[in-house]
């Protein structure tokens, strides 16, 4: 498959106009960089170049829960927050203690800010990407137009972290309630050896609380994704694979998308202690 066509499939095959506009403009000017991105989706430098090229061409935004129409539209992979808002808000629940949420490989997406603006439950959202260019663009947009949290205790931060190595060190084990992965794993699975995708999965499972969940949004067929999730979640040395379930999102702009719900494997119960027998 040609480089431009493959990128178009990942970012805009759903007909999401802004991504298509960005990619076509970027390909016209820098086709070699686009091909480089296809071959090196796990490399920070290629994503830096991509966002540097894409940012000036992003068209104006239509109404959104968190962003002014006068600012450049965020680059959304697959689809935007409105397409999954009901699922995300139902997963969080309307009430409860503050939920810690991670938007994995956020790029310049409005997913995290829109969740902040829409959740009646307090949320502490961390938008994370390893591209300093994407992080700077998102921070700049949110500085110009800060999202208004629906709950007064909600907050959001944008961090430069590598999801394959840095999550456990930054957040700590068993510290997050929800991790959102919209196309990040799909990109990493296209990298040589697919090693980075497995590393990211295990980092995500490590930072989740026992009752937490990783939501992977993808158009990959369940026959391929489900066995991979079960195999890779066990690859970290555990005896038990993570708990994996599936929710079909249905057709969005002509493409069938899925939400793969992954939870940490349940802890093995300790064997009951027995009193020492007297000789």
pLDDT digits (tens, 9 = 90+) for 195-246: 999 999 999 999 999 999 999 999 999 999 999 999 998 876 665 678 999 9
Domain count across the chain: 1
What gap in Å lies between CA 19 and CA 7, rounded to an integer?
10
Find the angle CA(40)-CA(101)-CA(257) to the nearest 5 degrees: 55
Q: Which of 58-67, 117-126, 174-183 has the lowest mean pLDDT?
A: 58-67
SS3 content of the chain, % helix, strand, coil (to 5): 40, 20, 35
CA neighbor of 154 nearest in space, from 107, 111, 120, 103: 120
Domain for residue 11, yes or no?
yes
Domain for residue 276, yes or no?
no
Q: What is the pTM of this model?
A: 0.81
Residue 173 structural domain = 1-266
Give the β-pairing of 208-218 and 255-263: antiparallel
The helix-helix angle for 111-118 and 81-92 (nearest 10°) equals 50
Domain for residue 204, yes or no?
yes
pLDDT band at 123 (very low <50, low <70, confident <90, very high): very high
Domain for residue 274, yes or no?
no
Domain for residue 273, yes or no?
no
Domain for residue 271, yes or no?
no
Domain for residue 210, yes or no?
yes
pLDDT digits (tens, 9 = 90+) for 24-52: 333 444 455 556 666 678 788 888 888 88
- The enclosing domain of 57 has a CATH number of 3.40.50.150
Domain for residue 279, yes or no?
no
């Amino acid at each position: 498959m040609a480089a431009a066509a493959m990128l178009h499939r990942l970012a805009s095959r759903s007909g999401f106009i802004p991504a298509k506009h960005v990619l076509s403009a970027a390909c016209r000017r820098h086709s070699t960089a686009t091909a480089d991105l296809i071959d090196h989706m796990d490399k920070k430098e290629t994503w830096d170049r991509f966002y540097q090229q894409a940012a000036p061409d992003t068209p104006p935004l239509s109404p959104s829960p968190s962003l002014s129409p006068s600012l450049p539209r965020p680059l959304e992979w697959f689809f935007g927050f409105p397409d999954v808002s009901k699922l995300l808000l139902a997963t969080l629940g309307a009430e409860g203690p503050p939920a810690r949420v991670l938007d994995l490989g956020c790029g310049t997406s409005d997913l995290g800010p829109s969740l902040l603006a829409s959740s009646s439950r307090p949320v502490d959202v961390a938008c994370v990407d390893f591209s300093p260019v994407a992080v700077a663009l998102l921070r700049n947009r949110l500085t110009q137009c800060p999202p208004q949290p629906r709950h007064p205790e909600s907050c959001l931060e944008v961090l430069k972290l590598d999801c394959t190595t840095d999550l456990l060190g930054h957040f700590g084990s068993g510290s997050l309630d929800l991790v959102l992965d919209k196309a990040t794993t799909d990109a990493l699975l296209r990298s040589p050896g697919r090693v980075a995708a497995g590393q990211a999965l295990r980092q995500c499972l490590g930072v989740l609380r026992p009752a937490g969940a990783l939501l992977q949004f993808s158009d990959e067929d369940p026959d391929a994704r489900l066995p991979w999730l079960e195999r890779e979640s066990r690859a970290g040395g555990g005896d038990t694979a993570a708990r994996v379930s599936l929710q079909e999102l249905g057709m969005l702009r002509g493409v069938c998308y899925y939400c793969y719900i992954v939870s940490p494997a349940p802890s093995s119960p300790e064997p009951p202690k027995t009193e020492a027998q007297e000789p």
